[in-house]
Structures are given as structure tokens and as C-alpha cells.
A and B are shown apart, each in its own frame.
Chain A
Amino acid sequence: MRTTLPLLITFVLGVFFVAEFFIPHAGIHGTVSLLQEWGAVLAASAFILGGVNVIQVNIPKIARREKDWLYKVVLIVSAFTMIVAGIINREEGGLYNYVYTYVYTPSSATMFALLSFFIASAAFRAFRARNAEATLMLVAAIVVMLGVIPLGEWLHPTFFPLLKDWILEYANNAGRRAILIGAALGAVATGLRVILGLERSHLGSD
């Protein structure tokens, strides 16, 4: 029951959605979009559950005064501030939007901006022409970088931009399509294994 019922639900829904693709009958549309709406609500609920879980994990750490517990206080206080602010007023001018604009936006954007510094470091330390393959990659990367910036056009009006476009349109597409086709075959096989109940890791252990 604990395993069979979930497997049966996955099987029935999986077969239904595969069949729907090939039999796009107007009568099916209502059921399909209803089930998709349910899928959206469940995905949103899972996010809420995840958020609650993080709070739940951190509160005991504060209670036990574990290492860095003060930072956990910052985490919990900011989470609750955002929740309360969101319940009270989500409109422009409210605290919820204020925290989003002046706290979430700069912290999130700067976390990712750190990558621009690390990529320079990685380029200096790791991007070496050790063999033919690495050299091809390195040359393609430099050509694309020069093709993207206006300086490439200043050096030669067409050479770098056209070479960049040629690499994208032919060499890159050849490799990407090989990857896409391979990955699509893999995705289809995995999807069918899930539908048939051969792959059941998403259900966790008993």
C-alpha cells in the first residue's frame, strides 16, 4: 500500500499525459489543465514546506547555542520579518517590497557577481593549452570573447563577429545537438522508467 499506491498514481498519470500528447482531443483538455493546475499548487506547497523546514532546522541550533548561532538568529528574524511584512502589506511602499529591494536584491545579485571575480582567477590558473582539445577550446573561447565585445569589431569589422557567429551556428550547434539528442534519449528512458515504476528513488526509503 505504502509503495504500490504512489507507484500506481505515477503510472496512471504518466500514461494519461503521454497519451494526451498523441490524442489532443478537446474533451481531454479540461482534465489535463485541471491536473496541471493541481501540479502547480503542489509545487508551491512543497516550496512552503521547504521554507518551514529550514526554519525548523535552525531554531533548535539557536536554542542549543551551537557554533554561529547568532547568525542563525539573523536568518530566523529576517525570515519572520519577511513573512509578517508580506501578510500585512505586499504592495509597493510596504516593508515587504522594501526588504526585497534593499536587502534581497543586492545580496542575491552580489552573491552571483562574485562569480565574475572567480572566473578571472579560474582563467588564469586552470585554462591551459595542455593538449589539442584544450587548445581548441581555448582558441574558441578567445574568439567568442573578442566577437562579443565591440573591441573585436574595432580590430577588424567582420572577422571576429563573423567567426563567433560561425562557431555558434555550425560547430557549437553540431556538438549541442549531439548532446541534446543524447540527453533526450536519456530523458525519455528515465521518464518511462519512472512511469513504469522501475525508478522509484523519488519515493524515498521505507
Chain B
Amino acid sequence: MVSLYEVFGHWFAIFITVATLSYLYEDNPFYKFVEHLYVGTTIGYEIIVQFYDTVKPNLIDRLASPALGASRLVYIGLLVLVLFLFMRYNKNLAWLGRIPIAFVIGIYAGQNVPAVANSDLIAQVQATVEGVRSFAAGDTAGSQFPLWAQYLGVFVLVSGLIAGLVYFFFSIEHKGSIKHISRYGVWVLMVGFGASFGFTVQGRISLAIGRAMQCLGVNESAAQAEAFHSRVVSVVCVVVIFGTIIFLQRRTKKNTPDSASPPTPTG
């Protein structure tokens, strides 16, 4: 059984979806309303989730937990750091806010220097060398590509990596043979960026598919379909929202015949 509470929620979700999509036509009051609603709910949600999921269990509950004994007193230090963060509202004490920031930055920097060097520098060189080594050792049976494509691939992998690094090396002037190598590096990078674009298209369209599924009531159970009437509600929302936008647009034009047309989205 679907409750009325759920039905209204579902209808409002469809209204929000269509109102947001109305931005594609032009900027309008429906979109602005949803935009501010989105920011407002995000702020409220964020404050609650950060407090109840992290600050409370890892600070307040720790301080209040008798099971931790005297060791919980250490958390007074953390409490002080959190209070320092909020000192920005007092002009004289605002500088204290730098201390927790310095604390977090110190941890992040100290943690990331060896971690990034290990995973993105050493491990990447290692993976490239290992790929070449196993290919040279004749370990080609597991590959999905024909042998010639593997030869070409290993050549592109090694030469492309070196050429790409040459392209990013700005301490020497790019002329003569260096210029040609770095140009080849750019070509390899461009193929990679093309692949990125291809996957980005997939990703972006996927985002819209989820919305289309909700508005068309795909995946609804029989009971939900009977209660929601998603397709009808979607059509009604489209007619009402776009009808109102067009009406407002015409009225504005009539009142100010010489004015410039309202802004349309960029992208």
C-alpha cells in the first residue's frame, strides 16, 4: 500500500526535476526556486550529518564515555581545536582559527607526500616496466589483443610515457628533436583526452537516464504505478512549468518591447 505522504513526495520530486530542466529553455523563477531549495536542504543536511556522524561519536561521546577512563581527557585538546575554529566570529581571537587549519594541513601534507610518491610515481614506473618485462618474457597469451597490436601497444605505452614527460618538462627549450618528441607526446595525450571525452559523454548521459526513469515511472511496482501516475504528472508539470515560463516571457516582451531577451543558459 502506497501512502499519500509517499505519493505527494513522488509528485514533488517530478516537479523539481522538470523545474530544474526548465533552465535549458531559459533562466526562470521555477529554476531559481529549486536552486535555492537545493542549496538550503544541502546546508541543513550537511550540518546534521557532519555533527551526528563524526563530531558526536568521535568527540562528544568520547569525552562523555566513562569506559575510556582518564585517556578521554586527551579529547579536551580536540575540543579546544574545534572551538578555535569558531573563533573567527571574534576579531581579536580570529587568528586562533589558524591553529586547527594548520593541524589539518600538517596531517594532509605529511600523509600525502609519501603516499602520492609511492602510488603515483614509483608504482606507475614499476607498472610500466613490469608490463614491458612480461611482454618481453613472452607472456602474451592472456591478452585479448593480437600479437601485432600488443607490440604496437607496448611501443606506444613506453614511447608515449617518455614523450609525455618530455612535453611536461619545461626546463629545456622545446626545439629540434625535443620539439618532435614533445609533439608526439601531445598526440598520445590527445588520444587519451579523446577517450576521456568519450567516457564523459557516457557519464553525463547516465545522470539524465536516472531522472528520465523516475519521471516515466520505470521500475515502479504495480501498486506504485497505480498510485503515482508518473507519466501523467510529468506531462502536467511540463505543461504548467513551460506554459508559465512562455506566458511570463511574452508578458515581459509586451511590457518592454525594446529590451534585450532574457538570459539563456550557457554551456
Contact = CB atoms under 8 A, between A and B. Distances in A.
B117 interface: yes
Contacts of A85: 44
Contact of A110 (B21, B164, B198, B199): B21
The 5 closest A-B pairs by CB, nearest first: A82-B44, A17-B110, A140-B194, A178-B164, A144-B198
B198 A143 contact: yes
Nearest to A15: B110
Contacts of B46: 47-48, 50-51
Interface residues of B, number: 119
Interface string A105-130: 11111111111111101110001000
Given A52-B47, A170-B156, A42 B145 contact: no
Contacts of B124: 177, 180-181, 184
A203 B101 contact: yes
Most B Cβ at <10 Å: residue of A9, A21, A110, A176: A110
Size class of the contact patch on chain A: 35 or more
A41 interface: yes
A2 B191 contact: no
Nearest to A22: B114
Interface of A: 2-3, 5-7, 9-18, 20-22, 34-52, 54-55, 68, 71-72, 74-83, 85-87, 90, 96, 98-119, 121-123, 127, 132-134, 136-145, 147-148, 162, 164-185, 187-188, 191-192, 194-195, 202-204
B39 to A, nearest CB: 5
Interface stretch (B78-86, B223-231, B238-246, B248-256): B78-86
Given A122-B267, A176-B192, 5 more contacts: A51-B44, A78-B40, A108-B38, A174-B164, A174-B188
What does DSSP make chain B's interface, helix, strand, loop or mixed? Answer: helix
B198 A178 contact: no
Contact of B33 (A71, A79, A171, A203): A71
A119 B200 contact: yes
B55 A44 contact: yes
